[in-house]
Amino acid sequence: MRHELWGPEIHNHRISDQAAPLVSFILKYDLIIWYDKDSEPTFETVNGKIWIDITMSSANLANKKMNWQVIKNNFSDHNYLVFNVESFNAARDPPRIFFNHRQILKICKAVHQKFLELQEEIQTVDSKQKLKKWVEELTITINQISQSFPRKVIKHLRVPWWDSELEVNRKKTRALRSRYQRCRREEERSMRRIVYKKQEAHYKWLIKQKCRASFELFCQQVVANNAFDLPYKIAAGKIRKTVLQSVKTSNGQFTNTIEETIQTIVQALFPTDDSTQETHVQRKKRETVNIYSSTILDKQFTKQEIAYAISTMKKKKA
């Protein structure tokens, strides 16, 4: 089978869609074809040559492709396909991005709008180059919309006392719990539950031990210079409330009392509304608000609106 995806375009009298089933298979499973347009033919005889031997893989493995080439020095009509794959210690591929329903709807609206703009151009497409350019413009629009969405950052809990021993015990506990929950026979299920509960108790005990040991080490480091420092004050309840420090005022001086400090902070956060320094737009809005008056009352709620509002309220909520 010949096709333009893995070989040069050849015009002949044969049926042009012989490779359609294979192309459908490639599109269904999102495979990538390893191909070099300048490579030698993969099958060659005295009657002719053709590109029928194909190398394809998933997208993740295709990114690690190195030095794919066709070697002709053999005693077969089929030439060798030689390639290298990068080490799996290389940099990881970027993670896949999943969109929620709202984001997908926004992408669809943007694509629909862009498609309406490019609808006239698709009627004039008469070559591969024009079609490729049309697809690229649509792809750029999709990428721009998707990149505008905020990325969800998964925050992992970082504690100083977590180590590999706790990691192993956590995985073991989860595995035993999964085996216990999947089991359906009563006798075996009760035995698996006992094993799981013992491992869970050991895992919880190990967490407490690691946490307490870490806190004791922290206390030793804190009281290394002064035994009556922070841990002693916390235990004795001698931690005083934080006193407001003096702040710098607008004239460059520091406040001397708590009242002055509070007034300075409030003045900085909520400045006085000075009408002499406002712009023309702000002045116009102020005048509009001051002279606004209306005698038109809003329409009363209908019974259907009230019934719908009550039916959509959460239960046991005021």
Residue scoring higher pLDDT (87 or 82): 82
**Count of residues making up the chain:** 318
pLDDT of residue 93: 55
Average pLDDT estimate for 243-248: 79
The answer to whether 43 touches 50, Cβ cutoff 8 Å, is yes
Is the pLDDT reported for residue 210 higher than 70? Answer: yes
What's the pLDDT band for 15 if we cut at 50, 70, 90?
A: low
Residue scoring higher pLDDT (191 or 110): 191
The answer to whether 58 touches 34, Cβ cutoff 8 Å, is no
For residues 204 and 272, give the distance between their C-alpha atoms in angstroms, rounded to a whole number: 57
Q: Closest by alpha carbon to 211, among 155, 160, 156?
A: 160
Which of 35-39, 157-161, 191-195 shows the lowest per-residue confidence on average (mean pLDDT)?
35-39
pLDDT of residue 3: 66
Give the CA diameter of the chain: 102
**Residue 43, helix vs strand vs coil:** strand
Whole-model pTM over 0.85: no
For residues 81 and 53, give the distance between their C-alpha atoms in angstroms, rounded to a whole number: 8
pLDDT of residue 231: 72
Q: Closest by alpha carbon to 6, among 37, 27, 31?
A: 37
What's the pLDDT band for 11 if we cut at 50, 70, 90?
A: low
Q: Where are the domains of the chain?
A: 17-85, 97-153, 175-236, 241-272
Average pLDDT estimate for 68-77: 76
Span between the terminal Cα atoms of the chain, in Å: 71
Contact partners, residue 77, CB within 8 Å, separation at least 6: 43, 44, 45
For residues 231 and 211, give the distance between their C-alpha atoms in angstroms, rounded to a whole number: 16
Q: What string of DSSP letters covers 73-96?
A: -SSSSBPEEEEEE--TTSPPPPPP
For residues 102 and 110, give the distance between their C-alpha atoms in angstroms, rounded to a whole number: 13
**Residue 13, helix vs strand vs coil:** coil
What percent helix, strand, coil does the chain show, rounded to 5? Answer: 50, 10, 40
